[in-house]
Amino acid sequence: MGMIEARLPEQYRLRFEQEHTARQAVWRVLVDAWFGRYVEGAHAVLDLGCGWGAFVNQIDVPVRYGLDLNPDAGRHLDAGVELLAQSAADPWPLADASLDLVFSSNFLEHMPSRDAIMSALDEAARCLRPGGRIVCLGPDIRFAGGAYWDFFDHIVPLTARSLVEALEIAGLRPVEVIDRFLPFTLAGRPAPAPWLIRGYLKVRPAWRVIGKQFLVVAEKPDAGVGSGL
């Protein structure tokens, strides 16, 4: 285990503790106003790089998993969320085609290498059922610029385009690509009011000005699609 991984509990406390309540409130609005559409009808959902559960704690589905290398994350997850405390690049202890949705927010850029990202995407592709989806939110270095590196554990620079290519290599089909979606970060800033978040999500021209995070959604094709059968 590397130095950064070994100090994840300390790092998470520094980054999330003071803003945890505000972050949860923001994600309640985001799930209600936008991300909840991807959860509709899902039976099993995995939050990849779940942190302290900002997303997975907000959703209501029968089976919820949070995957995070930080074992301390379990203290912050709802009782109904099962923590998979491991590297996302290692094989996931889940059956093939057992998930309806894999969700990942601001996580892939923290992985130690492009190979590790591909391993995680391959696992997502294996575990998703045909028609299941992966939703990826993260900073796009084209728009974040030098601020991308203001977080010590940002390792792999990503853009919407590069992630689309990686998803395709993993056998997943992109179905929604928004290169400029949410602002870069909430860290160190007051949480916006719920009405402001909802208003921003409705005014797409504002995304082109303020948005520095991509939103990429990809789907696992049905068996036989493209085979000519």
40-62 in b/e burial notation, b at 16+ Cβ within 10 A?
eebebbbbbbbbbbbbbbbbebe
Domains present along the chain, CATH in parentheses: 3-219 (3.40.50.150)
* 229 residues of the chain, pLDDT tens digit each: 565 565 665 655 555 555 667 888 999 999 999 999 999 999 999 999 999 999 999 999 999 999 999 988 999 999 999 999 999 999 999 999 999 999 999 999 999 999 999 999 999 999 999 999 999 999 999 999 999 999 999 999 999 999 999 999 999 999 999 999 999 876 656 788 999 999 999 999 999 999 999 999 999 998 765 433 3
Q: In the prediction, which pLDDT does 228 show? A: 38
pLDDT value for 41: 96
Helix extents (H) in the chain? 3-6, 8-16, 20-30, 36-39, 114-127, 141-144, 160-169, 194-202, 204-210
Instruction: Specify the pLDDT at position 4.
Output: 53
pLDDT at 229: 31
Cβ neighbours for 163, distance < 8 A, ≥ 6 positions apart: 108, 136, 138, 214, 216
- Tally Cβ neighbours within 10 Å of residue 132: 22
pLDDT value at position 67? 98
Task: Give pTM, 2 decimals.
Answer: 0.89
Q: Please state, as a whole number, how many other Cβ atoms lie within 10 Å of the Cβ of residue 96.
A: 10
Q: How many CB atoms lie within 10 A of CB 152?
A: 9
Q: How many CA atoms lie within 13 A of 221 on its CB side?
A: 12
